Amino acid sequence: MGIEKMLFGGKAEQQVLEKIKTHIRILWSASDCFQKALEERDRDLVYCVPDLEREGDSVRREIVSKIYEGAFLPFLRSSICRFVEIVDEAFDVLEDAAYEFENLNLQLDEDMEEDCVKIADTNSKMCEMLLLAFETLFGKGDLREKNLAVRIYEKKVDEIKFDLLKKMRKKEIKNFWEGKTLSDFISYLTHVSDVIEDASDYLTVIKTSLK
């Protein structure tokens, strides 16, 4: 029996791995949904983000329970739980962005809207890459390559964020809450990629710990 089979090949371990993939897929769907909500200024699509966040929460609880029921060797349990928590944090930040977008009455300046949609699109692509990266952790493929792809995406978001903040500072703000809501919205939207990058980096930590 190979070491990989011994570490991840059991029934409970396979169930956890499948659930983690589901967890990431839900994050991907939520990111897609949010991108469409921004493009179409559709309130129903905005609400799909908290709905999917709740679904993600439920999957996260199942994963953690399964792990503490005995899946994986003890030295791996905390690392896998930590990875799941980071993915969960991405859900939370995305949900905050969705609520702030609603607080903005689904309205953004035209020049800012284009940047925000681009960021949301990149967030979604990062979710896809995170899923591919996770699949390589316990299977075939080059994790380092996926990890670099995630970092390239994150760099793109950073560049757009720089321009977006410049545009925001030039905007005339009529009252405190309008300014705060817009600032928070941009802050949350651009933070999603940071958290996904953290999750991807954490996979490298897990991979290293397996050596």
> Between residues 76 and 132, which has the closer beta carbon with respect to another protein?
132
> Between residues 66 and 118, which has the closer beta carbon with respect to another protein?
118
Tokens (6 digits) for 59:
């999957």
> Judged by CB under 8 A, which of 149, 189, 192, 196 binds another protein?
149
| Position 18 contacts another protein (CB under 8 A) | no
The one-character DSSP state at 210 is T
Tokens (6 digits) for 192:
């999603």
| Position 158 contacts another protein (CB under 8 A) | no
In whole angstroms, the minimum distance from the beta carbon of 43 to another protein comes to 28
* Part of the chain binding another protein (CB under 8 A), chosen from 12-20, 142-150, 176-184, 192-200: 142-150
| Position 148 contacts another protein (CB under 8 A) | yes
* Part of the chain binding another protein (CB under 8 A), chosen from 18-26, 29-37, 88-96, 144-152: 144-152
C-alpha 86/C-alpha 134 separation (Å) is 13
* Cβ–Cβ under 8 Å, residues 97 and 30: no
What does the CA dihedral 83, 86, 91, 96 come to, rounded to 10 degrees?
A: 180
* Cβ–Cβ under 8 Å, residues 26 and 55: yes
Residues between 60 and 119 that touch another protein (CB under 8 A):
114
Residue in 31, 79, 18 with CA at minimum distance from that of residue 189: 31
> Judged by CB under 8 A, which of 6, 152, 173, 205 binds another protein?
152
C-alpha 160/C-alpha 156 separation (Å) is 6
In whole angstroms, the minimum distance from the beta carbon of 86 to another protein comes to 20
| Position 203 contacts another protein (CB under 8 A) | no
> Judged by CB under 8 A, which of 129, 137, 182, 203 binds another protein?
129
* Part of the chain binding another protein (CB under 8 A), chosen from 53-61, 82-90, 148-156, 167-175: 148-156
Please report the sign of the dihedral spanned by the C-alpha atoms of residue 66, residue 67, residue 72, residue 73.
negative
* Cβ–Cβ under 8 Å, residues 147 and 133: yes
Total residues belonging to the chain:
211
- Binding positions for another protein, rule: CB under 8 A: 114, 128-129, 132, 141-142, 145-146, 148-149, 152-153, 155-156, 159, 163
